[in-house]
Structure 1
Amino acid sequence: MTSSVPAAVAWPILGVSAVVLLLRWLWFSGSPVERYLNGGLTVVLLTQLLREDAVQRAVSGRTGLNVGSIQQLSLATIVCSMVPLLCVVGLLSGMSPKAVGRQRNVLSGLTALSLAVMLVAGTRARRADLPIYVSGGWDGVLFWVAFSAVQLVFAWVAIRQCLVEFRRPGAPRGVRVVAVFLAVVVTIIGVQVWLEPVFALLQEVRVVDSLGYRLRAEAQNYFWSATAGFAVSMVPMATAFTRYLGWDATTRRWRRLSVLWQAMIALFPGSRLPLDTGRRMRGVTTLQLQRATVEIRDGLLELRPYCTAVDPARLAEFLAYEKVPRSERESAEWALQLATAARDRARSSNPPSAAGVPQPVSSAANLDDEVAELLRLTEWWPAAERFVANKGNGVPGGTPAATSSSRGDPVGRP
């Protein structure tokens, strides 16, 4: 079928799709999943090009093929694109590469059989230089059955995997959003593909005249479905770009933690881990975030001998002055206790006691929990530091308005 999307709209989108595909082959082809996906997208882009009127006329002029044959060729490439895409779904579902390889061989055989049936069933339409939609006949019904077989398998498997990813415990919100988006797109495609042989059959038995609808829908549906697929394929690129610029969630959490991290390594330089960061970008890796949490915890342990019980009157003054919400008072009290201990450690290396006051027990079960705990402490660390410093000079803690603004981003990084 020839695309009905205006050339002024179609070609810029195809150009962007080509750039995305090139970038994916250059920088996002390190794993079998990425290579299979890139292969599928390559066939999808070829299909989109074959459906453009200018390309069809150019190919017809150079090869002698009529437009009807080229249109059937574009339908054949749609079927071919399903094999690598099904391999992607298989790998994402946890199948081993060997099992996926065996699945690929089976799917390739099914695809070859479908293409052979399409080749035979589409002969009359090709000879008449007619779109397969227009030629009709029982051979046309058979053509659409063969065309739909592999695609319906793909739709079923892909939707099932999207639901698995959406329901997976601990799945990031971004993964769930992409899973829902893909499930919707694949469902729409699956319904359209399933309707093709149904409409062809109903047309042949003269129950429903669907030719006009099918011509209008097919002339643009695939273009927009393929464009949606390319948009989803840009997600890893966008993620890598935001990580490079330091806009990702890991870097943002590190920035918030780094106020406390800098204070701890300034007090205890020996707590720094001998790891080579080797960073060439503004973003922070998960390993660097974990390193920062370990160094903060080491610093807190070394501060323990300097920790003393906070005077209730002083604590009440701090909580009232900073207007600490009731739900955050435990973290604020801990921050005040640590800020006092840090001041005492800076004044003298001899702790007042060997054990010190016990610190709150961590209930973190993973890195995310650990970071969340330390972030709650970090929220009140700058205010506690100011309060301790100014209280020693007989001045109340800093201005309340400065509490949130003081949680800035230091320049150092682990």
Structure 2
Amino acid sequence: MSSPMPGVVAWAVIGYVSVLLAVRFWLVGGAVVDRLVNHMGLWSIAALLMYRCASSPTLDDPANQLALGCVLMTTTYLYVIGRLVSADAEPDTVRRHQRTATLLASAATASVVLTAASARYSGRSVDLRLIRDALGIGCAFAIPFTYNTVVFTRRCLGTLRDAETPPAARIVGIGLIGSNAVLWGALALSLSQPATGWLEGPQLSLVQAAFALWVAIDSTLLAIPLVGELVQRAGMDRATRTCRRLLPLWRDLTAAVPEIVMPVDVRHGSDPATRLLRMTVEIRDAMLHLGAYLPAETGATQRNTVREPKSDRGLADYAHRLMRAAQARKTGLPPTRAGAAPPLPVVAHDFDAELAHLIALARIWPRAKAAVE
């Protein structure tokens, strides 16, 4: 096997990209864009493997010709992603764009193979200094390659111009644009190499090295969202950790008022943010229902609550009374008061403030439960 890239480097890139792609298939793949990225990764690995199978670094080797075809197939997915308005694009639209781009890439690959076959039939090597070879390969490969990557780059630029794009997405967009620029530069140098005589060596060898670098960079950038997914799968994200802290409080209150538990939406039930919102609403509803069962405050507690409404002492007393109210309703005792329920110890004007209050209540809840029981 002959290649302008050292074997250790080439196989290291292939192994690295394969691991990242396997993780992507494991973690994501439901959205349209994720499926396109995953299939693009498969074609990029195929291109790298074809380069490694080549016995010669020139275009006379059929493996290198097929490798160029795999590169074109990889860029067709860039084109389709660039044409998508959003991840919710209609499947028929995606399939139509993908089908068209695949046909063009297949035709371009056939042109490269036919040009090489024509040269071989004439008893010569493929030489880009000849007009016929240069037009056949340059038009077949360079034009769709450049067009596909330009369409994707315009998509990235549009994302960067959007003021609402998060910083992490901006970093990924800049990196993807930069990697495309590396490909363009390598392709331009390779095609101009026969005419200028600069950079001696096999024609289009720079494309192979630049493509391997492009695959490694883009695979790394597109793996950044996987970190958040892995953290979420491990239960270490903020929403999941907060749900675990609220779970004992939620479990005891909803056991006393089971009718307020909302049915789980199968589409979003596993989403940590949705789960946290649902738990918060259900805890708050249970507290309202248990208001009529709350034992009366003592005079000392009332005075302390007036002076320090947010103190741990006042919150601990409320937790004890709430636990007694939950036990009373669970055992079927009648309410201790008629009319409107007493106000809750805190009034939150936004979700974050309310969540902070519930977390504080959940923190002292195990002690209050142990004291009452």
- Hey, what does 1:150 align to over in structure 2? 144
Per-residue deviation, residues 349-408 of structure 1 (Å, max 9, x unmatched)? 5344522444566656xxxxx4x344211342256669989999xxxxxxxxxxxxxxxx
Give the % identical residues: 21
- The reply to whether residue 192 of structure 1 matches residue 182 of structure 2 is yes
Aligned pairs, number: 354
Instruction: Find 1:258's aligned residue among 223, 241, 247.
Output: 247
- Hey, what does 2:358 align to over in structure 1? 378
SS in 1 for 2:54: helix
Separation of aligned partners in 2, 1:184 and 1:345: 57
Per-residue deviation, residues 114-144 of structure 1 (Å, max 9, x unmatched)? 33554466568766556x6xx5454565434
Instruction: Find 1:56's aligned residue among 54, 57, 66.
Output: 54
- Hey, what does 1:302 align to over in structure 2? 289
- Hey, what does 2:39 align to over in structure 1? 39
Residue 83 to residue 342, structure 1, CA distance change in 2 (3 Å)? same
Q: Which structure 2 residues correspond to residues 328-343 of structure 1 after superposition, within 5 A? A: 335=315, 338-339=318-319, 341-342=321-322
TM-score normalised by structure 1 residue count: 0.64
What letter is aligned with 1:76?
A: G
TM-score normalised by structure 2 residue count: 0.70
SS in 2 for 1:51: helix
Q: Which structure 2 residues correspond to residues 143-292 of structure 1 after superposition, within 5 A? A: 143-163=137-157, 177=168, 179-196=169-186, 198-199=188-189, 203=193, 206=196, 209-211=198-200, 217-232=206-221, 234=223, 241-265=230-254, 267-273=256-262, 285=272, 288-292=275-279
Q: CA deviation at 1:79?
A: 0.9
Report which stretch shifted further, 255-264 or 236-245.
Answer: 236-245
What letter is aligned with 1:157?
A: V
Residue 292 to residue 343, structure 1, CA distance change in 2 (3 Å)? closer
Q: Would you say the 8 A contact 2:54–2:62 is kept in 1?
A: no
Q: Would you say the 8 A contact 1:3–1:220 is kept in 2?
A: no
- Hey, what does 2:6 align to over in structure 1? 6
Instruction: Find 1:82's aligned residue among 60, 63, 75.
Output: 75
Per-residue deviation, residues 197-230 of structure 1 (Å, max 9, x unmatched)? 6435655664x83557997854532212213344
Separation of aligned partners in 1, 2:80 and 2:31: 12
SS in 2 for 1:246: coil
Q: CA deviation at 1:49?
A: 0.7
Q: CA deviation at 1:74?
A: 1.4
Q: Would you say the 8 A contact 1:56–1:67 is kept in 2?
A: no
What letter is aligned with 1:56?
A: A
Q: Would you say the 8 A contact 2:153–2:180 is kept in 1?
A: no
Residue 316 to residue 218, structure 1, CA distance change in 2 (3 Å)? farther
Q: Would you say the 8 A contact 1:21–1:38 is kept in 2?
A: yes
- Hey, what does 2:325 align to over in structure 1? 345
Q: Would you say the 8 A contact 1:307–1:340 is kept in 2?
A: no
Residue 2 to residue 295, structure 1, CA distance change in 2 (3 Å)? farther
Q: Which structure 2 residues correspond to residues 348-359 of structure 1 after superposition, within 5 A? A: 350-352=335-337, 354-359=339-344
Separation of aligned partners in 1, 2:349 and 2:224: 34
Separation of aligned partners in 2, 1:387 and 1:22: 46
Separation of aligned partners in 2, 1:74 and 1:273: 55
Separation of aligned partners in 2, 1:265 and 1:220: 61
- Hey, what does 1:407 align to over in structure 2? none
Q: Would you say the 8 A contact 2:175–2:221 is kept in 1?
A: no
Q: Would you say the 8 A contact 2:254–2:286 is kept in 1?
A: yes
Q: CA deviation at 1:296?
A: 0.8
Separation of aligned partners in 2, 1:195 and 1:140: 21
Structure 2's unaligned 5+ residue stretches are 329-333
What letter is aligned with 1:381?
A: L
Q: CA deviation at 1:291?
A: 3.6
Instruction: Find 2:280's aligned residue among 288, 293, 296.
Output: 293
Report which stretch shifted further, 39-48 or 82-91.
Answer: 82-91
Separation of aligned partners in 2, 1:189 and 1:136: 28
